[in-house]
């Protein structure tokens, strides 16, 4: 499941990169009932930091910067 999530995140980032006209407000995916910690999930979104149309949760930013 963990690596499936990573591959889906990478596909999302590519989609967001290809569609700069759309805005994406992300939640802390995987950090609730899925049982993962923010420190495990946030690094998957490192390539989204530079995308102006992707708004990451504050808890992800605390780990990514």
Looking at residue 32, its pLDDT comes to 87
Residues 7-50: tens digit of each pLDDT:
999 999 999 999 999 999 999 988 888 889 999 999 999 999 99
Listed in sequence order, the DSSP H helices in the chain are: 2-18, 38-41, 58-64
pTM of the model: 0.89
Distance CA 57, CA 11 (A): 19
Token pair 């609730």 in the structure block, residue: 32
Residue 2 pLDDT > 80: no
Distance CA 15, CA 25 (A): 14
- Strand duo 54-55 + 24-25: pairing: parallel
Which pLDDT band holds residue 3 (cuts at 50, 70, 90)?
A: low
* Spatial contact of 43 and 5, defined as CB atoms under 8 Å apart: no
């Amino acid at each position: 499941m963990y690596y499936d999530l990573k591959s889906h995140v990478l596909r999302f980032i590519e989609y967001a990169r290809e569609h700069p006209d759309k805005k994406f407000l992300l939640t802390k995916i995987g950090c609730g009932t899925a049982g993962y910690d923010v420190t495990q999930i946030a690094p998957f979104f490192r390539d989204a930091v530079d995308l102006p149309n992707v708004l990451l949760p504050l808890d992800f930013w605390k780990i990514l910067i």
